[in-house]
Structure 1
Amino acid sequence: MNATQVTRPHAATKPVRWAADVVAAMREGARLRLDYSASSLWRVDRTIEEVHREGAPYAAVESVLRGFGAYAGEVMVRLTGGEWWTADGDHWVRTPDGRLWDPIDEARRCYHGEGSLRLLCHDAMSIART
């Protein structure tokens, strides 16, 4: 990353809000309770799969996917002691070992059947423990 990086609180402002928005929307609309636990990411992966299976066009669900990615990122932050980083409008999670993770892009990959927020978080947690 070439751009100047900004850490919490500024870098976290948008993704934390996106995560809270998706938690509220899922609780009210889909009756899905998200509690910022690693196990809740299994439900998020399944929900993204269902949205894709129903044939929703990507453009129609792009902001929800961003919210799911931010939610997964916030789970990672809370469980690994990481922090949100931002540069050039993109947001990543930086774990204590210095690695950067892109849960927002991973949510997009999930929609296309190529990713898993649960596994991304699992990998980050596994590395953070070593």
Structure 2
Amino acid sequence: MEDAGGMRACAAGFVARVTVRNRLPLDYSVASLRVVDFLVDGLRKGGADRERAHDTLVGLGAYVGEVLVRRAGAEWVDFDAYQQAYFGQPVGVRMPDGRIWNPLGKVVNRFEVGGAEESLQTFYLTLHGRARRAPARRAAA
């Protein structure tokens, strides 16, 4: 598992791997989170167990987090021991208002529970603490 400093590269690597043969619109837009919902649902319907789907779920979680960074003004953070125990993940994002969110855990919830209430696009759209207008961020080289 990556630390906060490696999550942008984790997301970029995931996007590169899954889009090499597919024309998936993973462009870090809010609308692309519907594609993430679709991909997670496909894993579930395909009968993958969590262990087999682990790397894909981490990649999708990194992607969702990177959408929050790019579109909502969040920043990647390493969770402290308490947060790791609470969220079950080593990293998450901090919103401009200081709230902490767990995009990797949200992806796992979508995988395990499914359903509209676990939609990652809805998660973003109802997310508290977003910047009114996220600052433009250049991609790291």
TM-score normalised by L of structure 2 = 0.76
Match of 2:119 in 1: 116
Match of 2:36 in 1: 44
Partner Cα separation in structure 2 for residue 125 and residue 79 of structure 1: 13
Match of 1:99 in 2: 99
Structure 2 residue runs without a partner (length 5+): 82-88, 133-141
Match of 2:136 in 1: none
Q: Secondary structure at the match of 2:92?
A: strand
| Per-residue deviation, 1:127 | 4.7
Structure 1 residue runs without a partner (length 5+): 1-10
For 1:62-77, what aligned pairs fall within 5 Å after superposition? 62-77=54-69
Aligned-residue CA RMSD (Å):
2.3
| Per-residue deviation, 1:17 | 1.9
Partner Cα separation in structure 1 for residue 21 and residue 110 of structure 2: 21
Partner Cα separation in structure 2 for residue 120 and residue 35 of structure 1: 18
**What fraction of aligned residue pairs are identical, expressed as a percent?**
36
Matched-pair contact (CA < 8 Å) for 2:97–2:129: no
Kindly provide the amino acid, as one letter, of the partner of residue 101 in structure 1. Answer: W
